[in-house]
Amino acid sequence: MDFEQIYNTYYMNVYSYVMTLAKNQHDAEEITQKTFFKAVTTTKKYAGNSSELTWLCAIAKNLFLDELKQKKRYKDTEQTEIVAETNIERSFADEETAFRIYQVLHNLDEPYKEVFSLRIFGELSFRKIGLLFGKTENWARVAYHRARLKVQERMED
């Protein structure tokens, strides 16, 4: 299989197909590139039972659906975190509760104490927190989530 020829022949067809799904130029370009990359790296799976264009569009559709699932998961997680942060911020409004939270934070292990403080008090994004620690954005999310759970657990005690 000559992938350069396949790319040159089908790129616009696949891109147009993905554009109808994604309705976003950047996403369509990204998914189209991933489609051809996946096609190059998984040639053993192409049995030749359909046309090359059909095979490429099937890959593109699956990648698009994966992207949708990932975005939905991210959006759901982000909304949950916003609600949790809002609840914690409301707790600070009550001076006595605020003092209790400071006590809990004071006794929290690192890196949870710092990640929590940077997120709540410093209002830093997870990306920036990850950069500060030399870790990924995902690591910062997980560390913050764990810190928030620890604070909530200790507040209930």
Q: Comparing 13-27, 55-69, 81-95, 100-114, which segment has the lowest mean pLDDT?
A: 81-95
Tell me the backbone φ, ψ of residue 94, rounded to 5 degrees. -85, 115
Mean pLDDT of all residues in 139-151: 85
One domain, residues 101 and 51: no
Give the whole-angstrom CA distance, residue 103 versus residue 80.
25
Work out the average pLDDT over 76-98: 61
Question: Is residue 135 in some structural domain?
Answer: yes
Residue where one domain finishes, among candidates 72, 104, 130: 72
Same domain, 48 and 100: no
Q: Does residue 147 fall inside a structural domain? A: yes
Q: How many structural domains is the chain composed of?
A: 2
82 found inside a domain: no
What pLDDT digit, counting tens, does each position of 89-124 carry? 555 556 666 677 777 777 888 888 888 878 777 778
Query: Which pair of structure tokens corresponds to residue 74?
Result: 């991210």
Within a domain: residue 89? no
pLDDT, tens only, 41-59: 875 566 666 788 888 888 8
Considering the entire predicted model, what is its pTM? Answer: 0.45
Q: Range of 31's domain?
A: 3-72
C-alpha torsion 41→69→58→12, nearest 10:
-80
Statement to judge: residues 101 and 66 lie in one domain = no
Pair (11, 55) in one structural domain: yes
Q: What is the mean pLDDT of the chain?
A: 79
Closest listed residue to residue 140, CA positions, set 123, 132, 75, 76: 132
At 50 the pLDDT is: 73
